[in-house]
Amino acid sequence: MDRALRQFLAIADAGSITAAARMLNVTQPTLTVNMQRLETDLGLPLLKRTAEGMRLTSYGETLCENVRMMQRIYDNALINLKEQSERSEEGIALACGDTWWTLFIRDVVRNYRADHPTAPVRVNIADQIQSMEQLLSGDISLFVSYRFDGLRASTGARFIPLSQSPPGYFARPGHPLLDRPRTRKEIFDYPRAYPATPENRYRAFINEAERLETIASAFVASRFAFASNSLTACIDYVTDTDAVLHFTKLLSPEIRRRGLLEITQAEAPASKTMGIYLLADRAADPRIADLIDRIKAAAEGVLPAISIQ
């Protein structure tokens, strides 16, 4: 709205040019000159000085009423334009597993929503394979997961490492393995529960020469007793049996909260690298770059720093 009209409203509200000048952070002479110019442009007296201060003339009252209406229309127009602009944003679409959602992706979404209250946000809770399929099909912009061993270059996916995730082993209270530190052999002698499922689709992303060393092949060959894409189902199974839950140590507090205890390892665990996957040809997209920066910042607060090899 016109600056002179905004200044006129400020004088009407404040009751004096001096008070209005302070409120608007302008000098009193500047405000006086602007009001004289406004009266000249309209050809009508708008203000009069009285013993009680500056008062509006009848013309000033009429102008003030209409300017207030103009101000409301202008303010509403700005609000509508802002909402329209935010609705036009593409928002974000990503995938991750339960672990990463619990540890830091939830905070990423919360902060993004605070900055873009009307932009759409979609988060798919999915395993590594489902996430890669969604990335390659264009359903999501990126996903957070463990690194694929031997990923085919033809996928066009780029990996940004964030941290290393050490393996953890969890059992019900009273389990025989809880009395002292245990070797991996001792732990692996017990039935295993995995929050994942073996999928032959994994092979579509992996170099054939490295297939036998992939996570999928190792999983198929392992002696698992129970597998589910639900961590809750795995915890329920382990709670009622002598099986051991194989999962990341990073979620130890949450798993303990849900009733299982961590088995102390006698050997240093071999960590797995986790990070962000995105399509290499979209890395320069400003929205994706911003999302990556947000994920990195959130991860730094909760994940161990990645070691430089």
Q: How far apart are CA 258 and CA 81, in angstroms?
A: 47
User: What is the pLDDT, as a whole number, of residue 140?
Assistant: 93
User: What is the pLDDT, as a whole number, of residue 159?
Assistant: 95
**Which residues, other chains included, contact 156 with Cβ-Cβ below 8 Å and sequence gap of 6+?**
136, 279, 280, 281
Q: Is a pLDDT exceeding 90 seen at residue 263?
A: yes
User: What are the pLDDT digits (tens) for 110-139?
Assistant: 999 999 888 889 999 988 888 998 998 888
Give percent above pLDDT 70 in the chain: 87
Question: Average pLDDT of 76-96?
Answer: 77
Assigned CATH for 3-87: 1.10.10.10
Of the candidates 39, 20, 40, which has an alpha carbon nearest to the alpha carbon of residue 30?
A: 20
Q: Where are the domains of the chain?
A: 3-87, 94-300
User: What is the pLDDT, as a whole number, of residue 87?
Assistant: 54
Highest CATH level, class, for 94-300: alpha beta
The packing angle between helices 17-24 and 28-42, to 10°, is: 110
User: What is the pLDDT, as a whole number, of residue 206?
Assistant: 58
- pTM summary value: 0.65
The neighbouring-strand residues paired with 272 are 165
Q: Is a pLDDT exceeding 60 seen at residue 209?
A: no
User: What are the pLDDT digits (tens) for 221-244?
Assistant: 456 789 888 889 999 999 999 999
Do 3-87 and 94-300 share a fold?
no
Task: Tell how far CA 204 is from the center of its chain.
Answer: 29
Of the candidates 202, 199, 222, 94, which has an alpha carbon nearest to the alpha carbon of residue 150?
A: 202
User: What is the pLDDT, as a whole number, of residue 105?
Assistant: 97
User: What are the pLDDT digits (tens) for 278-288?
Assistant: 999 988 889 89
User: What is the pLDDT, as a whole number, of residue 77?
Assistant: 87
